[in-house]
């Protein structure tokens, strides 16, 4: 039986000034106040983390960041460490999002270092993996995911990654309006769980939460969440509006 608590995560990407972020977060807190049995996370831009933390404190809404750097401190202009995120009130951090891989040179190796830094600081890593449209069409989905999972978690031990969340986001479905069918998504989630089982054992495979990301909306979330290996959603565009995001939370 699946006893994993669903996680509905909102990735706000590069949207919202501090005032806009505070307004959206405040409205979301009101809308999800009666919700139980589901974890909720939002990830504002770095500059809005502190004011949003004040708004969500003591509520159902958890706070995350969209990225971090793997060193604790140093001469790394423009970067932010795990400890800095914790001190600003974060519980989660997104690592290896496809946009970071596509535009900012993120690799499986840097993802691995970032996951290590998050774990050391007691942040919950939301580890993103996924294939492009070309990779799916050439039948390479599983081999791509196999490499991303094994390289991203290389030299990690079960005890360290107990809190890990994996987010499967088919790159071809992000912001495109295309969504994997619920059966396609389930097949891939089941494969990812079997990968974790093979590398880390059944206990972690049974407990790790695997989220689906890629044009999740109020209209399609219930069908996705009905699948046995889908434990939540990493939501982009639809998370920017408190009303639509709260409807996804209440799937």
Per-residue pLDDT band at 58 (split at 50, 70, 90): very high
Q: Is 189 a catalytic residue?
A: no
pLDDT tens per residue, range 169-188: 999 887 777 778 999 999 99
Region of 96 (left: φ > 0; alpha: ψ -120 to 50; beta: rest) is: left
Residues 6+ apart with CB under 8 A from 26: 55
pLDDT value of residue 178 = 77
CA distance 245 to 150: 32
Task: Work out the percent of the chain whose per-residue pLDDT is above 70.
Answer: 100
What is 24-75 written as a DSSP string?
HHHHHHHHTTT--S-EEEEE--GGGHHHHHHHHTTSSEEEEES--BSSSSSS
pLDDT digits (tens, 9 = 90+) for 176-230: 777 789 999 999 999 999 999 999 999 999 999 999 998 899 999 999 999 999 9
What is the reported pTM?
0.96
The whole-number average pLDDT for the span 108-134 is 97
- On average, the pLDDT of the chain sits at 96
- Give the H or E element holding residue 16: none
Answer yes or no: is pLDDT of 48 > 70.
yes
- Domains of the chain, earliest start first: 7-249 (3.20.20.70)
Q: Is the pLDDT of residue 14 over 90?
A: yes
β-bridge partners, 234: 9, 213
Annotated catalytic residue: which of 106, 131, 169, 189? 169
How many other CB atoms are there within 10 angstroms of residue 140's CB atom?
15
The active-site residue out of 97, 99, 135, 189 is 97
Please confirm, yes or no, whether 169 is among the known catalytic residues: yes
**Per-residue buried b or exposed e for 45-65, using 16+ beta carbons within 10 Å of the residue's own CB:** bbebbeebeebbeebbbbbbb
């Amino acid at each position: 039986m699946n006893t994993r608590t669903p996680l509905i995560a909102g990735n706000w990407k590069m949207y919202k000034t501090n005032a806009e972020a505070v307004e959206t977060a405040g409205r979301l807190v009101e809308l999800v106040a009666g919700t139980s049995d589901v974890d909720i996370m939002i990830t504002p831009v770095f500059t809005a983390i502190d004011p949003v933390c004040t708004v969500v404190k003591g509520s159902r809404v958890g706070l995350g960041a969209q990225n971090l750097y793997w060193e604790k401190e140093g001469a790394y202009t423009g970067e932010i460490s795990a400890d800095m995120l914790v001190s600003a009130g974060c519980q989660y951090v997104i690592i290896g999002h496809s946009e970071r891989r596509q535009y900012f040179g993120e690799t499986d190796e840097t993802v691995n270092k970032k996951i290590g830094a998050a774990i050391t600081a007691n942040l919950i890593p939301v580890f993103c993996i996924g294939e492009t449209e070309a990779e799916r069409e050439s039948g390479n989905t599983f081999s791509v995911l196999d490499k991303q999972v094994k390289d991203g978690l290389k030299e990690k031990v079960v005890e360290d990654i107990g809190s890990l969340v994996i987010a499967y986001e088919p790159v071809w479905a992000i912001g495109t309006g295309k969504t994997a069918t619920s059966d396609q998504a389930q097949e891939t989630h089941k494969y990812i769980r079997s990968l974790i089982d093979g590398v880390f054992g059944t206990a972690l495979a049974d407990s790790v939460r695997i989220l689906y990301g890629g044009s999740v909306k109020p209209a399609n979330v219930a069908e996705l969440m009905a699948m046995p290996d889908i434990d939540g959603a990493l939501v982009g565009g639809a998370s920017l509006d408190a009303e639509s995001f709260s409807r996804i939370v209440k799937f």
